[in-house]
Structure 1
Amino acid sequence: MPAPGETVDPSRVHALDPDQLAAAVAAARESIRAAADLDALAAARTAHVQGAAAPLVLARRELGALPREERADAGRRHNAARAEAQAAYDTRLAELTAERDACVLVEERVDVTLPAARRRRGARHPLSSLSDRLVDVFVAMGYEVAEGPEVEHDWFNFEALNMAPDHPARSEHDTLYVEPTDSGRVLRTHTSPVQIRALLDRPLPVYVVCPGRTYRNDTIDATHSPVFGQLEGLAVDEGITMADLRGTLEVFAQELFGSGLSTRLRPSFFPFTEPSAELDVQCFACRGEAARQPRQPCRVCSDEGWIEIGGCGMVDPNVLRATGVDPARYSGFAFGMGLERAAMIRHDVREIRDFVDGDVRFGLPFGIEV
């Protein structure tokens, strides 16, 4: 390119010569027509139309070297040549795009008439659903959910709950000890240790519900399992009485089995509560009629008219002292139940093994449980 202000003979600017522009357009059209796919077309466009070294781009740079009176005519010739090359590119682009789309429709075709290979929908495990349902009942009454380790220390599992090493109640738990056996670690036999931890870790008053898995050295049969779920609750506050326990459990029983059912407390014994009781609820199937009319048997309550739900009672003062709570100022109640037993009663399940056998057909009817 000549220096600024230098007079240039138009014949010296070869790239803008009409013959040169026509040759550049012809070369561009040929390269574009020969492109077999979109990648090759993009390369042809770069080489002949838009790239830094493309002949039409180099020709445009020579416009400034022409005298002023020659520039307009040369610019029109260049624009016409570039438009012709661009039109050839656009036409080939449409052709190759249509070919690609047609290939995609063939190669990626999906036969929607074939049956779908769908897996059958499962359902939540009935014990999980029941546990969440019962926890929600107590959370609605202001309780908090508390959890603890399943491998527990003997002190939390027994001693803090008023069961000394020689206490006869320990033999009823069939404890599984973690080796070495003198380590003092056991697989918790109930979720009551979580209540002890709650009293140690939380400021008073304490209102907690404790769902979880527990372990005992039981032989599995229709009603017993070495691994089972429990749900326990604890309330410790000033002025707590047995009447508060009775009212709480009545609300709980009605949420579990339905409204309009009577409840009763039968005297019992537990090392960590005094006084202690068993909670019975009126049979939700026969409404107690089986006990009054023997000719109408009820297999849900075995003709007794009542269903045993779980144990409860006022927290023993020794338990409060073990956790640093003054029994002269505070009192409380505790209750507990087995989740498998509640589910068996609620859904008329005859074998506790059905909950752990893993047969998906067993859980499907419970899919609608909230």
Structure 2
Amino acid sequence: MPALPHGGVGHRIAATRQARRMTQADLARAAYVSLTMIKAIERGARNPSDDTLESIADALGVDPSRLAAGSGRSDSRVHHAMPAISAAIAAYDLPADPPERPLPYLADDVAALVGWRLGAQYTRIAARAPRLLGETLAALHHAADCDRPQAARLVATTARAVDAVAYKSGHHDLSARLVELMRWAAVQSEDPVTAATAAYVRTETFFAARAHAQGLRALELAIDAAPSPVGPAAAARGALHMRAAVIAARAEDAGAATLHLTEARRLGDTVAEGAYDGTAFGPDSVRAHEVSVAVSLGRDHLQRALDVADEWTPPDHLPAERQSGFWIELSRAQLWAGRTDDAFESLKVARHIAPQHTREHPWARDTAGTLRRLKRSDAETLTSFAEWIGAV
């Protein structure tokens, strides 16, 4: 497992800075903060304000939550952004004022949003989401016919990034509205890959409702409608199979889960690992999903999850969100197998990789709470972790 840094926010800032091969002076200049303040924060003599922490995080290229992993401040900022996001999409189908910026500038900002989503940098997305949702919607409503498909793809991609924040922070009603916005824009994009991506993301609404059989049916219809699996389209179809395998497992349909995972593996072997239309897919993503499928099928299949983890762990090039998901799901399998120490170590790795994703994940919270009950006499680190994640 990766080595984990210890200490408070100052230690995490110093460790991240050193990993970036930056001096304290470099960080001070990039964050527009005095060198004296950087030194004081790193040695623990001062706590940064929210604005200062965000400036430092921007300079280091990480989400503030990764630096402030011991507090709930960044998580609170995500939750506080939800009303503004809701307002931004309330009248999504009604023409707004013309956009202030042209499509190329909006495309750059949307691309940054995708990177933050893959990196589980939810605070950054939440801070910028309301304005970017409004701008991309205005661009779509005012686009010339030749630009409408691109504008529609920008709306769909923005909605998807913001939905990740809403869904993972438990705002499932808002998430469902963002998914519908994505599907509405996907139709106007005239792009079958964008439509396939919207179908992939729509599965969240079925997960939230525990309507697993219906979700499997919806994904199988989307697979039938997906473009032929050639080039990037192979990744789109493979991702749908990958998602179908997980929801089939949740529906306790082991046969369908195996069939879809087998097809995802076949398609994954035809493309390089990467982000295709914002979805990570390739051999490593499929391998991570083998653990997810095994854990979703339940305790009788946990050995498969443990076997995968014995011979493979997620490489650093996989998105942070996908890496942390692997460790969270592995932790659940390890708990079922009675390997409580390993389960706790896996949760700590997940937290190190993507703190907000881990803190909001219901399985991580459930596992931490169970570990705390089973190991009451253990060191205070477990109690501290359980309190951080909200399990006690």
Return the TM-score normalized by structure 1.
Answer: 0.22
Query: Who wins on radius of gyration, i.e. which is larger?
Result: 1
Structure richer in helix, relative to its length: 2
Return the TM-score normalized by structure 2.
Answer: 0.21
Structure richer in strand, relative to its length: 1
The structure whose RCO (Cα within 8 Å, separation 6+) is larger is: 1
